[in-house]
Structure 1
Amino acid sequence: MGKLFYIMGKSASGKDSIYQKLLENKEFHFKRLVIYTTRPVREGERDGQEYYFVTEEIFQELKRAGKIIEDRGYGTVCGLWRYFTADNMELDKHHYLGIGTLESYEQLKTYYGAEKLCPLYIEVEDGERLKRAIAREELQEKPQYEEMCRRFLSDAADFSEEHIQRAGIERRFQNTDLNSCLRNIETYLKSMI
């Protein structure tokens, strides 16, 4: 029986880097949980890798067809951006690796059962996160600093200590150094698989 190992953390905490490194580690044989989004593609992202990039119309079609497990909408400075998960995993055959929010984790846990999900919560000190977020935004062809700031502030509420506890997150991984953080996560994963 497989599990869904679900990476969570505030923006610019290193989730995408950790996700990529864990997928590259052939010891775990993870399949990707690729979620959907209606937001624009960022520099370097590819459809079907980080996300499936779809229109609002496709989201509505999938919703009408009853294929959506969980969805979140964010009123951004660029309009409504949706992120959602459709039921397309074979947990009876494979281990999966995904990235999301506390809210999506709780909804997936309700849908699949707590025994099928394993949270990987990534933490980084806020000042360091802000530096990373600015550096990442500077690399974009059209930097969206206003949206970056909105996301940063929104994370304080979305990932409050109360919400972390409510989601049942017991283990946290400090990402002050990517390689050290990865070693800690890999050791933990070996104990869970």
Structure 2
Amino acid sequence: MHEIVFIMGKSSSGKDKIFKKLIADEELKLNTIVMYTTRPMRQGESDGAEYYFVSDDTAAKMEAEGRIIEIRAYHTVHGIWKYFTLDDGQIDINKGKYIVIGTLEAYEKFCDHYGKEHLMPIYIDVDDGIRLTRALAREKKQEHPKYAEMCRRFLADSIDFSEENISKLGIKIRYFNNELLDGCIDQIKKDIIEKLAR
């Protein structure tokens, strides 16, 4: 049975909006977990909501203690930013259903840690031209836009989410978010209800 719905997709694929809509849907009753990051907080974010924002030293201590399920380090134009999931008691597959956002690599680590049979992969696919337009619009809204980092992330996603990597992890279903967000969410919801009921 699937207990963890795992949302993934390239940057600006709309996965954050989809995630928020799904957790707000009372019919689904999905619990969230909060991941950790060492990157600076963006405008409009708050600690414990989007992420737990921690220092590099704190992240290193947690890793040394063996508490990290998965961790990613990105060499950005502003230094190394780490994103990770901590085995901190937020997930108990015997007590509930959960929803998580992550990368393909994070999905693989979750499968290793919890067992692939407990995860339902939700891969959000978007045309690259649409994705780039969205990324640029989002960055323009920031008080201090980081265009170089936006471009680095856009290009890195082409490698991280290559067809080979997607196929290797056995992800066969894609949810397209090119235009109609509500239609994409409706299809995801339908599939979650069907698979979590098994």
For the criterion TM > 0.5, the same-fold answer is yes
Query: What SS is found at the alignment partner of 2:142?
Result: coil
The answer to whether structure 1 residue 6 and structure 2 residue 6 are counterparts is yes
Matching residue of 1:166: 168
CA distance in 2, matches of 1:33, 1:117: 14
Do 1:11 and 1:151's aligned partners in 2 also have CA atoms closer than 8 Å? yes
The Cα shift of 1:44 comes to 1.3
CA distance in 1, matches of 2:45, 2:99: 18
The answer to whether structure 1 residue 142 and structure 2 residue 136 are counterparts is no
Match of 1:107 among 106, 109, 112: 109
Structure 2 counterparts to residues 18-97 of structure 1, below 5 A = 18-87=18-87, 88=89, 89-97=91-99
CA distance in 1, matches of 2:142, 2:100: 24
CA distance in 1, matches of 2:104, 2:94: 24
Do 1:2 and 1:92's aligned partners in 2 also have CA atoms closer than 8 Å? no
Do 1:4 and 1:95's aligned partners in 2 also have CA atoms closer than 8 Å? yes
Matching residue of 1:187: 190
Query: What SS is found at the alignment partner of 2:46?
Result: coil
CA distance in 2, matches of 1:47, 1:91: 25
Structure 2 counterparts to residues 150-161 of structure 1, below 5 A = 150-161=152-163
**Which deviates more, 74-83 or 33-42?**
33-42
Q: Which amino acid aligns with 1:90?
A: D
Q: Which amino acid aligns with 1:187?
A: K
Moved over 4 A (4+): none
The Cα shift of 1:28 comes to 1.1
1:29-54 deviations in whole A, cap 9, x for unaligned?
11112111001111111211111111
**Which deviates more, 55-64 or 122-131?**
55-64
CA distance in 2, matches of 1:171, 1:180: 15
CA distance in 2, matches of 1:119, 1:34: 18
How many percent identity over aligned positions?
Answer: 49
Q: Which amino acid aligns with 2:106?
A: S
Query: What SS is found at the alignment partner of 1:134?
Result: helix
Do 1:137 and 1:144's aligned partners in 2 also have CA atoms closer than 8 Å? yes
Do 1:2 and 1:93's aligned partners in 2 also have CA atoms closer than 8 Å? no
How many correspondences in the alignment?
193
The Cα shift of 1:25 comes to 0.3
**Which deviates more, 122-131 or 88-97?**
88-97
1:52-104 deviations in whole A, cap 9, x for unaligned?
11110110111122111111100000000001111131111011111000000
Unmatched 5+ stretches in structure 1: none
Q: Which amino acid aligns with 2:65?
A: A
Unmatched 5+ stretches in structure 2: none
The Cα shift of 1:2 comes to 6.3
CA distance in 2, matches of 1:77, 1:96: 33
Do 1:173 and 1:181's aligned partners in 2 also have CA atoms closer than 8 Å? yes
Query: What SS is found at the alignment partner of 2:92?
Result: coil
Do 2:2 and 2:119's aligned partners in 1 also have CA atoms closer than 8 Å? no
